[in-house]
Amino acid sequence: MKFKNNIEIKNRKARFEFEILDKYMAGIVLGGTEIKAIRLGKASIAEAFCEFTNGELFIINMTVQEYSHATYFNHKPKQARKLLLNRKELKKLEKDVNSSGNTIIPLKLFINDKGLAKMDIALAKGKKLHDKRETIKDRDNKKRLDQIKKAYK
């Protein structure tokens, strides 16, 4: 059964604020009204981050708005949600976060072909101010170069 629901909720600030070291794809444990709200596109991962609790990975500060057609069984919008990864990946991530001071951030929340909610997460290192300026400079130079190429075609 193929789903045609192309939901992709992105964290646009992530690549500007952080240097991406490694990427993973994780499943999310969701309740009934949460997945329905995500399929409507009513979620945000802009302020979200991941944290280890008792050897399990949770996403904190992810906002999933309440489902409009639900009754009193609705979910809490900012509750912590468990991420599903292999045990080997979890141990590697936990070791990297604890030893080197890196963080785990969400990059993208999407619905796959089977209709399941998945999240692209990344092991990341925070950028310094001069690195951010360098990113802006590179982006502007690329934009100017593309304009020049377009003018000469």
Relative to beta strand 43-44, strand 63-64 is antiparallel
Residue 63: domain span: 8-127
Q: Give the count of domains, the chain.
A: 1
Query: In a 3-state reduction of DSSP, which class is residue 80?
Result: coil
CATH number at residue 43: 2.40.280.10
Is position 149 within any domain? no
Is position 110 within any domain? yes
Spatial separation of the C-alpha atoms in residues 27 and 100, rounded to whole Å: 25
Is position 1 within any domain? no
Query: In a 3-state reduction of DSSP, which class is residue 114?
Result: coil
Global pTM exceeds 0.85? no
Is position 107 within any domain? yes
Output the tens digit of pLDDT for each of the chain's 153 residues: 555 567 888 988 888 888 899 999 999 998 888 888 888 888 889 999 999 999 899 999 998 888 777 667 777 778 899 999 999 999 999 999 988 879 999 999 999 888 889 999 999 998 888 888 988 999 999 999 999 998 887
HSE-CB for 109 with a 13 A CA cutoff: 28
